[in-house]
Amino acid sequence: RLELCAAHLLVQLVHYVQSQYSGVLSIDSTTLWCDSTVTLSWIHTLPYRLKTYVANRVAQIQELIPPSAWRHVSGADNPADCASRGILPSELVHHTHWWHGPSWLQLPSPDWPTSSFSLLDESSLDELKPAPLSVFVAASQPPWDLLTRFSSWTKLLHVMAYLLRFVSHSRRQEHHVGPLSVTEVQAAQRRLFQLVQRESFPDDLVALRNNKTCSIKLQRLASFIDAEGLLRVGGRLKHADLADEVRHPCILPKSHHVVNLLIDHAHLQNLHSGVQLTMSLLAQHVWILSARSVVRSRIFQCLTCFKQRPKLSFPLMGDLPKARITPARPFLSTGIDY
């Protein structure tokens, strides 16, 4: 930075001399010399690429003198070293290098020695600003707001069923009219479970489709993907005389709006059942991770259940009788007849 300040001072001095002799002398070209490769590299760099202190001085230097006017001089040919490194007064009087500069400076400019200097690479400059890095993140598909728009499991299920009916009509696959059928409602439920699993277990679904290892919480359940793309619990009940959803219940996360609606629906449909009964009813067709904690949390938030379990109030006891708390000698109030 001191070398840069010296170059800045030199530019100001040259500009002042040029302004004073502008009407007297015709100056065709100006050459400025510097032996600092770092300073020359800064001068040839755009100011906005540099830090504030260096950028301000480089901008002023480039404004007064173009960077092409700067040339590199070796330390041995630089007369300024005589002052910075010191010289005896007796030597200074007859020191031609100090008074006249290097011998080749008096020659025509085409005869000046060619410097082998090359500008430093920008990566090696200390005063460069950190280059801003623009990162474009490919955002995953945002969650469908339909899943969080409703506060009732029945309403959400019916809306999904009507959407699937509309899609079927648009593709001219099937044509249904009138109330929803049981098959349509079951298809809507499977579709909702698929959407929930895609939001909650995206990496696990990809791993299982590629025959790779999934997360530990799903490994313990021997999870697999069925023909409809649903993530289900494995186990040893393949040959049991039970429905498929009972043998291999669908896996659902513990924290999802749809799961909360499903728990609330089971709780209300069974007359505000307790934690254990609600879990047993849900386990017949779904497997919720950490089910006990999330079911307990949802039931605890039920306003009706809260009103039915008020806190018990215990009345304050009366004062003890005086005879029980007054010190007295033995047999003062009670005697024994032998």
Is residue 327 situated within a structural domain? Answer: no
Same domain, 118 and 65: yes
Q: Does the predicted model carry a pTM greater than 0.85? A: no
Average the pLDDT over 70-98 and give the result.
75
CA-to-CA dists, residue 77 to 1, 81, 113, angstroms: 22, 9, 11
Token look-up 């040919």 returns 77
In a domain, 129, yes or no: no
Same-domain check for residues 177 and 269: yes
pLDDT of residue 143: 56
Rounded to whole angstroms, the Cα distance separating 160 from 336 reads: 88
Q: Which domain holds residue 287?
A: 149-308
Question: Which residues are within 8 A (CB) of 164 and not within 5 positions of it... i.e. 6 or more apart?
Answer: 184, 187, 188, 191
205 located within any domain: yes
Shared-domain flag, residues 296 and 162:
yes
> Which of 45-54, 97-106, 118-127, 171-180 is the least confident region?
118-127
The answer to whether the beta carbons of residues 187 and 167 sit under 8 Å apart is no
CA nearest 164: which of 153, 151, 150, 180? 180
Tens of pLDDT, residue by residue over 1-33, are 888 898 889 899 988 888 888 878 887 888 888
Pair (55, 188) in one structural domain? no
| CA-based radius of gyration for the chain | 45
Q: Are residues 154 and 252 in the same domain?
A: yes
Share the mean pLDDT of the chain: 85
In the chain, the amino acid numbered 96 is: T
Q: Is residue 266 within 8 Å of residue 281, measured between CB atoms? A: yes
| Average pLDDT score over residue span 154-161 | 95
Q: Which residue has the higher pLDDT, 42 or 81?
A: 42
Number of separate domains in the chain: 2
Query: Residues near 316 by Cβ (< 8 Å), separated by ≥ 6?
Result: none
Over the stretch 258-274, which tens digit does the pLDDT of each residue have?
999 999 999 999 999 99
DSSP E strands: which ranges in the chain?
A: 32-34, 70-72, 224-225, 231-232, 250-252, 286-288
- Ranked by mean pLDDT, the top range of 24-33, 118-127, 250-259, 320-329 is 250-259
- Cα(96)–Cα(233) distance, rounded to whole angstroms? 95
Pair 56, 179 in one domain: no
Looking at the fold, whether 198 and 245 belong to one and the same domain comes out as yes
Q: How far apart are CA 103 and CA 273, in angstroms?
A: 105
Q: What is the pLDDT of residue 299?
A: 95
Q: Is residue 187 assigned to a domain?
A: yes
- Both 289 and 200 in a single domain? yes
* Same domain, residue pair 177 and 298: yes
pLDDT band at 96; cut points 50, 70, 90: confident
Q: In terms of DSSP bridges, do strands 231-232 and 224-225 run parallel, antiparallel, or are they unpaired?
A: antiparallel
pLDDT tier at 123 (50, 70, 90 boundaries)? Answer: low
Shared domain for 296 and 193, answered yes or no, is yes
Mean pLDDT across 115-124:
67
- How does DSSP assign 258-298, residue by residue? HHHHHHHHHHHHTTS--HHHHHHHHTTTEEETTHHHHHHHH
**Residue 251 domain flag:** yes
Do residues 100 and 185 both lie within one domain? no
> Taking 80 as the threshold, does the pLDDT of residue 173 lie above it?
no
Mean pLDDT of 136-151: 72
> What does the pLDDT look like over 294-307, one tens digit per residue?
999 999 999 999 98
**136 lies in a domain?**
no
Q: Residue 98: its pLDDT value, please?
A: 73
Are 163 and 70 members of one domain? no
* Domain contains 314: no
